[in-house]
Structure 1
Amino acid sequence: MTTWIPAGPPALGAAVGADATPEGGWLVRPFRAGPGLDGPPGILQGGLAATLPSVVARLSDPFGAPLTSVTARLHAPTPLERELRFALRPADGVARHEVQLRDGDQLLVSATVELAGRDRAPAVPDLVELALGELPPQQHQRTYPRCFVCGPDSPHPHALRCTYGHVRDDAVALPWLAEEDLATAPDPRRRHDEGPGTIDPVVVGAALDCPGVWAATPALTGAGYAGCLLAGMEVRWYRDAPAYEPLRLVARHDELDGRKVRVRTALIDEDGLVHAVASALHIAVAEVPSLP
């Protein structure tokens, strides 16, 4: 019988198996994402899919260093409410782990997780500029109405329900006040765990996904596309982000090349301090998919 432990904050509703089983050089754990964690209907929200591999890496890491980065590729939609499997093994380089999320023989997500501590925040003046000053008028999106991050109709009790506003045609900025139920649960086994009141890194990763889509929306609409889906994402964490304090999410659309959409997003406080930065590749689609 599987013993389940929370993957991210308990309020999120995702869980992994407490025990890992060796299989062909990998350590394998079951995984289940509960209801309400949609991006498109029935599909795990892209930022969650990209950053949940950090959970199993941290469970297996003996040193307890803070999460540095996750670089992920999404190969296929991750279904909700069914048992999947995470597999982990050491990656090339120090403090790096290779993680795969699988549905039977189908590879859903592949990721490299680095657990080496926090780097100095980079100079991203264009993103910081978007976060400072008066916010633009905000609106809800309707393309992904059940999205855990930005869907106004999400059924999840702790959905973020983020709005967005265009600073320019290629950039958005929005306020974010994360509730304390989405904070990291303290773990006495770890020497360098994020403290109570710190937004869980997985939730930060989720929040960094959607603003990039809305920054790219004018370009996508102009090219005749209905939307886009996350294909790859790199997230780097630089500071613990406080729950229930005013923060800002910003995004800039950098390029639309055929169906490839490249965006950058950041989590920044009202003083211009950078907490996390993501770069993402989305693929433009003519119709938003869903899973039964």
Structure 2
Amino acid sequence: MSDFAGPAPPGTVDGVPLTIDARFNGPDDSANGGYACGLFASACAEPVAVTLHAPPRLGVPLRTEPGGRRTHLWDGDALVATAAPTRHRVVPPAPVPVSVARAAVPGYRGRRGHPYPHCFACGPDRESGDGLRLSPGPVPDRVDTVACPWVPDAGLSAADGRVRAEFVWAALDCPSGWTADLVAAPKVLGWMRAEVLRRPVAGEVCVVVAALDSFGGGGLAAGSALYDESGVLLAQATTRWYAPAG
């Protein structure tokens, strides 16, 4: 059974504004893509893929509206995102031992020249307990694959003691982008499909792994997965990234 969304966050029922706190940024002036997709997905009744049409603004009410099998997220008259059921099959990258993931961290490309150094998920300028501080570095003998440990803190937990689904989405998001060189060619998330099988508990040692699927035309596609320290799959995702507009 999929532990898809966890308890629905407040303010996300149909017609009630959804507001993304400024803490959860990617670029300084817009939301972290994975967090935004996960929060929006939590407002939907079934597992979905989320397409981002525009950077979600921070601190402003965003309106959710169902439309047939799709749900739309609006910022005034501007369409921000669309969530829709999908048959897209997620194939997770193979697990990586915790020791290998830890050894990969020093190779994280985003340590210097990060295009979004304050990103909630992977920004090196965030403090522990404020951002996720993911540092996915290359895995030896695994082409275009990165990994890092993640130990979620208690501030990410829902009332049931497990990490909220939107934070799992955020953890699956950024490592997939770092399967390419985002310092040389910055990109932002444009589409994400995730499945959360089990939400981890605070303090649980996890490993995030991501592998590049394709690269070209100014974009990339990648798969990512979250494992526990025994190599049991907790969550998986497929993402598509594009050069930022403008």
Shorter chain as denominator, the TM-score bin is 0.7 to 0.9
1:189 corresponds in structure 2 to: none
| Distance of aligned partners of 1:50 and 1:180 in 2 relative to their CA distance in 1, 3 Å threshold | same
Q: Pick from 228, 238, 241: which aligns with 2:200?
A: 241
Q: Pick from 26, 38, 54: which aligns with 1:76?
A: 54
Letter in 2 for 1:228: K
2:190 corresponds in structure 1 to: 231
| Distance of aligned partners of 1:113 and 1:54 in 2 relative to their CA distance in 1, 3 Å threshold | farther
Structure 1 runs of 4+ off > 4 angstroms? 7-10
- For the 8 Å contact 2:104–2:146, the answer to whether it is kept is no
Q: Pick from 100, 110, 133: which aligns with 2:82?
A: 110
1:173 corresponds in structure 2 to: 147
Tell me, in whole angstroms, the C-alpha distance in 1 between the residues paired with 2:50 and 2:104: 33
Bigger CA radius of gyration: 1
- Asked if 1:29 is matched to 2:16, the reply is yes
Tell me, in whole angstroms, the C-alpha distance in 2 between the residues paired with 1:235 and 1:51: 8
- For the 8 Å contact 2:195–2:236, the answer to whether it is kept is yes
Tell me, in whole angstroms, the C-alpha distance in 2 between the residues paired with 1:199 and 1:157: 14
Letter in 1 for 2:17: P
Q: Pick from 184, 195, 199: which aligns with 2:158?
A: 184
Tell me, in whole angstroms, the C-alpha distance in 2 between the residues paired with 1:175 and 1:228: 23
Alignment of 1:73-222 (within 5 A): 73-88=51-66, 91=69, 98-112=70-84, 124=92, 127-131=93-97, 134-135=100-101, 136-139=103-106, 141=110, 142-154=114-126, 158-167=130-139, 168=142, 170-185=144-159, 196-217=160-181
- For the 8 Å contact 2:127–2:133, the answer to whether it is kept is no
Unpaired segments of 5 or more residues in structure 2? none
3-state SS of 1:16 partner: coil
Two-structure CA RMSD over aligned residues (Å): 2.9
Give per-residue Cα distances to partners, 1:107-126, cap 9 Å, x unaligned: 00101269xxxxxxx874xx
3-state SS of 1:271 partner: coil
Tell me, in whole angstroms, the C-alpha distance in 2 between the residues paired with 1:134 and 1:29: 44
- For the 8 Å contact 1:88–1:99, the answer to whether it is kept is yes
| Distance of aligned partners of 1:131 and 1:233 in 2 relative to their CA distance in 1, 3 Å threshold | farther
Q: Pick from 261, 267, 273: which aligns with 2:220?
A: 261
Alignment of 1:265-284 (within 5 A): 265-284=224-243
| Distance of aligned partners of 1:129 and 1:267 in 2 relative to their CA distance in 1, 3 Å threshold | closer
**Identity level (%):** 32
Task: Report how many aligned residue pairs link the two structures.
Answer: 232
* Displacement after TM superposition at 1:34 (Å): 1.4
Tell me, in whole angstroms, the C-alpha distance in 2 between the residues paired with 1:123 and 1:107: 30
Tell me, in whole angstroms, the C-alpha distance in 2 between the residues paired with 1:208 and 1:123: 13
3-state SS of 2:11 partner: strand
Q: Pick from 32, 40, 51: which aligns with 2:38?
A: 51
1:117 corresponds in structure 2 to: none
- Asked if 1:16 is matched to 2:1, the reply is no
* Displacement after TM superposition at 1:180 (Å): 1.6
Tell me, in whole angstroms, the C-alpha distance in 2 between the residues paired with 1:180 and 1:82: 26
Unpaired segments of 5 or more residues in structure 1? 1-6, 21-26, 62-67, 92-97, 115-121, 186-195
- TM-score, scaled relative to structure 1: 0.70
Letter in 1 for 2:207: R
- For the 8 Å contact 1:43–1:79, the answer to whether it is kept is yes
Tell me, in whole angstroms, the C-alpha distance in 2 between the residues paired with 1:269 and 1:156: 20
| Distance of aligned partners of 1:155 and 1:110 in 2 relative to their CA distance in 1, 3 Å threshold | farther
Letter in 2 for 1:209: D
* Displacement after TM superposition at 1:49 (Å): 1.7
- TM-score, scaled relative to structure 2: 0.82
Give per-residue Cα distances to partners, 1:106-159, cap 9 Å, x unaligned: 100101269xxxxxxx874xx224346523341462221110011122379531
Greater fraction of residues in strand: 1
- For the 8 Å contact 1:255–1:262, the answer to whether it is kept is yes
Tell me, in whole angstroms, the C-alpha distance in 2 between the residues paired with 1:101 and 1:35: 18
| Distance of aligned partners of 1:55 and 1:182 in 2 relative to their CA distance in 1, 3 Å threshold | same
